[in-house]
Amino acid sequence: MQLTENFNLEEFKNDGGLWIPAHIDETEAHRRYTKLAETLENVRFRLGKTPIRITSGHRTAEDQQRINPGTLRSMHCENLGVDIQAEGFSPSEVFILLTNYWLGGLGLYTTHNHLDLRNELGLAEARWRKL
């Protein structure tokens, strides 16, 4: 299902094809990923219309336990967070270009950036670097 011009729901699903958290109904889950896709369109435009690849989208609690057990409340489990790679930009460059622009959570890792809309849940903006 196409969410926006350049982002498809398939890209947000986990390896098992799941995308709806147990505590959210399908309408809300869809609304959240549409909102995230719209903000990713803005990021894409801001980076000169470069392709953006989602490297990790939805995570079940079990996925999260396996991938990053240190984070108790992951936005990947709330349909509000993704890890991305932007073609032609290093994660450091993306972090610098978005830090004053992105409203939610923005993380810098060696291979990717984490972007989330935690502000949708009333949570404060966050920035972190894990290099």
Q: Which residues bind Zn ion (CB under 5 A)?
A: 83, 114
Q: How many helices (H) and strands (E) does the chain have?
A: 3, 5
Do residues 61 and 68 touch, judged by C-beta distance below 8 A?
no
Which of 27/110 has CB closer to Zn ion? Answer: 110
Tell me the residue number closest to Zn ion, measured at CB: 114
Q: What is the separation, in whole angstroms, between the first and last Cα of the chain?
A: 34
Q: Which helix (H) or strand (E) holds 52?
A: strand 52-56
Q: What is the smallest separation between the CB atom of 16 and Zn ion, expressed in angstroms?
A: 18
Give the nearer residue to Zn ion in terms of CB position, either 5 or 77: 77
Shortest CB 109 distance to Zn ion, Å: 8
Q: Are strands 126-130 and 113-116 parallel, antiparallel or unpaired?
A: unpaired
**Least distance between Zn ion and beta carbon 14 (Å):** 13
Residue placing its CB nearer to Zn ion in the complex, 11 or 83: 83
CB of 114 to Zn ion, least distance (A): 3
CA–CA gap between residue 19 and residue 129 (Å, rounded): 27
- Closest to Zn ion by CB, 63 or 83: 83
Helix, strand, coil tally for the chain in percent (to 5): 35, 20, 45
